């Protein structure tokens, strides 16, 4: 029988009170109801809300068949996308894949690499060098097909693939995930005959991991997308407005982080003690940063990988400005087992750990750090996953998404737009001399 992720906010008490939390339960419930009623800000971007339970077996089968086709043809698959178009995939793939599988010659799964998430010339040249002589395919993810970073990368990679295998074969190795009926990528995919998947109009990029945007590359990596969706669907069921606040993890997390924010805790650090979770934090940072950072409000999102970052950021977290709180991701049970061996000379002084699991040492580091940080004035929230698998990662993703929507409404912002992201684009297009930006080009010349 599947368990569920757990939320422990007891180490925030003393910084905020249980009365503070309980007093906001009704507001959290109201915000949750607003999401489900579709009456709040950004209500045209709520397609993610019931997405896990609405994905059909036929849809998953089709995605898996496309994944299997690319798996059979390709040693490497390049995922072209930026922000939510790649972060969710990378978060899941990194968290559930063998660290060193990509180094093995007899690996079962294609290597997934990424492009379109930067404009690094050296990166693209080195990617092309890596792909040279390898059989590869491309997943191009963009609603419009004109976003600069992915469009630039896809233009280059498409040319390289067509040169390597010919235009006809290239068509069978390119998948477009884009708008249902319009845009440059939709037009190209239609004209060329690429396999297409739709990014729903009512699902924003940072909430898109459970659409084909995330599910296709995750399936190509050999991860069980049915279990991923099942975990998310169970969390969807357990975070509806009908679930009492005392049992509703999404409502509780949303309330506690907002109550800490009111008390001057302006920075939330997502900490993990499992290096495979690094990109879960990167995905989380976009989800919350882009959703809540508006109207000069919002918690600043940061992340650390422990214990490594205890030797770099640990000092600041322990004794720096007291404007932070931590949310800790903890994996209760490792997937593999390794004991500390006995050493005859014991020069490192570690024989006192001989016979203990390495994970036990890690857990004591986690507990010791939590106690030290709380004593140092850093409230701690703990999110525990029974183990690291597709089902529990699915739960975690939906939990964070649902709590984000509730939290944004508690904060009083629209959690589903991102107007500030457009500012740099306008300046960049003006500086590049893009047609249609002549007025902006003249204005910006006066400022530089």
pTM strictly above 0.85: yes
Radius of gyration of the chain (CA): 23
Q: Provide the pLDDT confidence category of residue 432 given band limits of 50, 70 and 90.
A: confident
Check for a shared fold between 6-42+229-419 and 51-227: yes
Nearest Cα residue to 155 out of 164, 145, 168, 165: 145
Q: Provide the pLDDT confidence category of residue 447 given band limits of 50, 70 and 90.
A: confident
> Which residues sit opposite 304 in a β-bridge?
271
What value, to the nearest 5°, has the Cα angle with vertex 84 and ends 82 and 88? 115
Say if CB 156 and CB 128 are below 8 A apart. Answer: yes
What value, to the nearest 5°, has the Cα angle with vertex 379 and ends 277 and 312? 55
Domain boundaries, the chain: 6-42+229-419, 51-227
Burial of residue 144, with CB atoms counted within 10 A of its CB: 0-12 exposed, 13-18 middle, 19 or more buried:
middle
CATH of span 6-42+229-419: 3.40.50.10490
- Identify the residue whose tokens are 């739709």: 198
Which residues are catalytically annotated?
290, 311, 425
CATH of span 51-227: 3.40.50.10490
Say if CB 354 and CB 342 are below 8 A apart. Answer: yes
pLDDT digits (tens, 9 = 90+) for 125-184: 999 999 999 999 999 999 988 899 999 999 999 999 999 999 999 999 999 999 999 999
Q: Tell me how far apart the alpha carbons of residues 183 and 391 are, in angstroms, rounded to a whole number.
A: 35
Which two tokens mark 202? 């009512």
pLDDT digits (tens, 9 = 90+) for 286-312: 999 999 999 999 999 999 999 999 999
pLDDT digits (tens, 9 = 90+) for 332-377: 999 999 999 999 999 999 999 999 999 999 999 999 999 999 999 9
pLDDT digits (tens, 9 = 90+) for 73-106: 999 999 999 999 999 999 999 999 998 988 888 8
């Amino acid at each position: 029988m599947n368990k569920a992720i757990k939320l422990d906010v007891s180490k925030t008490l003393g910084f905020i009170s249980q009365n503070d939390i309980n007093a906001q339960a009704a507001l959290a419930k109201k915000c949750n109801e607003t999401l489900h009623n579709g009456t709040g800000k950004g209500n045209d971007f709520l397609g993610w809300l019931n997405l896990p339970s609405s994905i059909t077996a036929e849809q998953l089968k089709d995605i898996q068949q496309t994944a299997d086709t690319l798996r059979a043809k390709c040693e490497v698959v390049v995922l072209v996308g930026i922000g939510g178009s790649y972060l969710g995939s990378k978060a899941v793939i990194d968290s559930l894949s063998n660290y060193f599988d990509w180094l093995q010659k007899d690996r079962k799964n294609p290597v997934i690499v990424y492009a379109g998430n930067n404009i690094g010339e050296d990166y693209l040249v080195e990617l092309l060098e890596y792909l040279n002589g390898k059989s590869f395919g491309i997943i191009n993810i963009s609603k419009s097909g004109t976003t600069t970073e992915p469009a630039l990368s896809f233009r280059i990679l498409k040319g390289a693939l067509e040169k390597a295998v010919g235009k006809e074969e290239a068509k069978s190795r390119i998948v477009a995930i884009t708008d249902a009926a319009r845009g440059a990528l939709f037009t190209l995919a239609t004209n060329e005959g690429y396999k297409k998947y739709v990014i729903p109009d009512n699902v924003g990029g940072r909430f898109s991991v459970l659409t084909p945007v995330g599910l296709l590359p995750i399936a190509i990596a050999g991860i069980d997308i049915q279990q991923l969706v099942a975990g998310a669907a169970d969390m969807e069921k357990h975070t509806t407005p009908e679930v009492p606040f005392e049992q509703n993890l999404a409502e509780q997390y949303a309330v506690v982080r907002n109550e800490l924010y009111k008390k001057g805790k302006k920075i939330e650090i997502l900490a993990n003690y499992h290096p495979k979770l690094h990109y879960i934090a990167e995905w989380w940072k976009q989800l919350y940063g882009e959703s809540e950072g508006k109207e000069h409000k919002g918690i600043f999102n940061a992340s650390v990988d422990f214990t490594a970052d205890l030797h770099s950021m640990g000092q600041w977290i322990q004794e720096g400005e007291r404007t932070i709180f931590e949310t800790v991701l903890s994996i209760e049970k490792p997937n593999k087992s390794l004991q500390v061996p006995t050493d005859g000379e014991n020069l490192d002084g570690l024989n006192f750990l001989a016979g203990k699991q390495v994970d036990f040492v890690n857990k004591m580091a986690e507990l010791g750090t939590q106690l030290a940080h709380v004593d140092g004035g850093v409230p701690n929230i703990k999110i525990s996953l029974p183990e690291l698998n597709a089902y529990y990662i699915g739960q975690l993703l939906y939990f964070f998404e649902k709590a984000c929507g509730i939290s944004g409404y508690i904060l009083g912002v629209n959690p589903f737009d991102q107007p500030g992201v457009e500012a740099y684009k306008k300046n960049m297009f003006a500086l590049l001399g893009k047609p249609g930006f002549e007025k902006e080009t003249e204005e910006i010349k006066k400022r530089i």
